[in-house]
Amino acid sequence: MSQAKKGLPGLSASLKDKLIQQALQRKLRQAGQEQGSRSVPLAPARKGNISEEFYRFDMHPGYRQLRIMNEGAARMGVRSPFFKLHEGTAGADTRIGGKSYVNYASYNYLGMSGDPVVQAAAREAMERYGTSVSASRLVSGERPIHRELEQALAELYDVDDAVAFVSGHATNVSVIGYLFGPRDLILHDEFIHNSVLQGAQLSGARRLPFAHNDWAALDAILDEQRHQFERVLIVLEGLYSMDGDFPDLPRFVEIKRRHKAFLMVDEAHSLGVMGKRGYGIREHFGLAGKDVDIWMGTLSKTLAGCGGYIAGEAALVEHLKFLAPGFLYSVGMPPAVAAASLAALRRMQEVPERVAALQARGRFFLQHARAAGIDTGSSAGLAVVPAITASSLKAARLSAALFEHQINVQPILYPAVPEQTARLRFFISCLHSESQLTRTLEILSKII
């Protein structure tokens, strides 16, 4: 019998895990390199001599990567932590498989998804306008609820206007991809969301990342590069969803003004979380709405709906409503979704105590996690707190162990993050109790 079949005798369990994990990573890198090498056009194949991998989905490099990860996890006895079936509203608590869990895997920061006022607004809109507007808004899909939502968002940011898209991811892809082109430059934080990267790729502009939250590094790049391009876009996030930290926005505002660039801030995770009233990173720093050229955000987190939005000057918004493909060629947002997000925004303004409770719970969790020796990275304790494990296998096993204690938290694994920063990611809600947070940290500390 070969040594492989004997199960690597003489090695400790931890060393076996490490060796298996390294082998998986090598296979993933090889699959990625093979996929990258095929970006170079191949010589035309002779008639009848097309390789199977070019017309079979089960041989696609991406699918092969997925199989490698799944099979490796199965060999190490780790069940998939993904696609868990939630059986009701997911807030600070949720039901999975008929059992109740403390839930740290939802963006329902202010408990607006499930709020009776928000649900009533959605029902009323559905009864009045139907389940779909059945057309692009430009032609016959426009409804009063769309404009009410957009006007409320514009007022929130103290800017001219806003426009709502049916997808948050597509908002960044379509807006960046449309507004910028091959003679332009897009500079973004190295930890920026995938949607921004996809938008930059679509635009054809040159794309350069800068070190996370490092305004001085951005300034240096602009000193060297600005004169070579027409338009320059700088893209940041208000609150980074992997690390729970945020940029020194006033510094970036000063830099964009000096270099005559556009500044875009993605507030997907900072709206409802930062600022005394939950108005986001602008309120946190006391900035004017017009200090940022493009405010972007999502409706799927604090605002309990689905979709994205852009807020800014009238020329920007009017331009996007008539010409941005992701808006122009897409059906209008379902009335119930627009109404739910509008109601959630108004509820946030009516119950600022929820914002205060969220911020207090986030600080509590962060302080006690650090006191317990858990690596929380650069988190500011504003709704997002990672527990960095430096091992995908360890993160997956910790997630599974916590699930056995009826605590639901998702692992973030390689290649979604570098292996040395694999983690559990805790999303804190205003509805979490201190006793839930304390119990979670006690259990995590014992098994970590």
Say if 287 falls within a structural domain: yes
- Per residue in 277-301, pLDDT (tens digit) is 999 999 999 999 999 999 999 999 9
Say if 182 falls within a structural domain: yes
Together in a domain, 107 and 213: no
Query: What is the 8-class DSSP label of residue 401?
Result: H
For the entire predicted model, the pTM comes to 0.89
Together in a domain, 190 and 294: yes
155 strand-pairing partners: none
Distance separating the N- and C-terminal Cα atoms of the chain: 36
Together in a domain, 319 and 419: no
Q: At what angle do helices 335-350 and 116-129 cross, to 10 degrees?
A: 150
Together in a domain, 280 and 145: yes
Residues 6 or more apart whose CB falls under 8 angstroms from that of 176 comprise 186, 196, 199, 200, 202, 203, 233, 235, 264
Say if 283 falls within a structural domain: yes
Together in a domain, 430 and 303: no
> Which tokens hold the place of 177?
């991809």
Please answer whether residues 176 and 371 qualify as being in contact, where contact means their C-beta atoms are separated by less than 8 angstroms: no
Together in a domain, 279 and 405: no
> What whole-number distance in Å separates Cα of residue 293 and Cα of residue 253?
10
Measured at the CA of 179, the angle between CA 337 and CA 270, to 5 degrees, comes to 45
Together in a domain, 261 and 379: no
What is the structure's pLDDT at 3?
42
Which residues of the chain fall short of a pLDDT of 50? 1-7
Together in a domain, 165 and 297: yes
Please answer whether residues 206 and 185 qualify as being in contact, where contact means their C-beta atoms are separated by less than 8 angstroms: yes
3-state secondary structure of 189: strand
Say if 343 falls within a structural domain: no
Segments forming the whole domain that contains residue 184: 133-333
What is the structure's pLDDT at 16?
57
Q: In the listed set 333, 367, 396, which residue is the last one of a domain according to the structure? A: 333
Together in a domain, 140 and 195: yes
Q: In the listed set 268, 299, 333, which residue is the last one of a domain according to the structure? A: 333
> What whole-number distance in Å separates Cα of residue 294 and Cα of residue 300?
19
Say if 363 falls within a structural domain: yes
What is the H or E stretch that residue 444 is in?
helix 434-447
Q: Nearest-CA neighbor of 225 among 203, 199, 207?
A: 207
Together in a domain, 317 and 383: no
Say if 126 falls within a structural domain: no
> What whole-number distance in Å separates Cα of residue 383 and Cα of residue 426?
8
> What whole-number distance in Å separates Cα of residue 144 and Cα of residue 156?
18
Together in a domain, 247 and 324: yes
Say if 379 falls within a structural domain: yes
Say if 158 falls within a structural domain: yes
Q: Nearest-CA neighbor of 302 among 273, 338, 332?
A: 273
What is the structure's pLDDT at 77?
72
What is the structure's pLDDT at 44?
58
Alpha helix positions (H), 38-180: 61-75, 116-129, 144-157, 168-179
CA dihedral (140, 144, 147, 149) positive or negative: negative
> Which tokens hold the place of 317?
């918004």
Together in a domain, 153 and 301: yes
What is the count of structural domains for the chain?
2
The CATH code of the domain that includes 359 is 3.90.1150.10
Q: In the listed set 301, 333, 365, which residue is the last one of a domain according to the structure? A: 333
Helix, strand, coil in percent for the chain, rounding step 5 = 50, 15, 40
What is the structure's pLDDT at 344?
98
- Per residue in 361-413, pLDDT (tens digit) is 999 999 999 999 999 999 999 999 999 999 998 999 999 999 999 999 999 98
The CATH code of the domain that includes 150 is 3.40.640.10
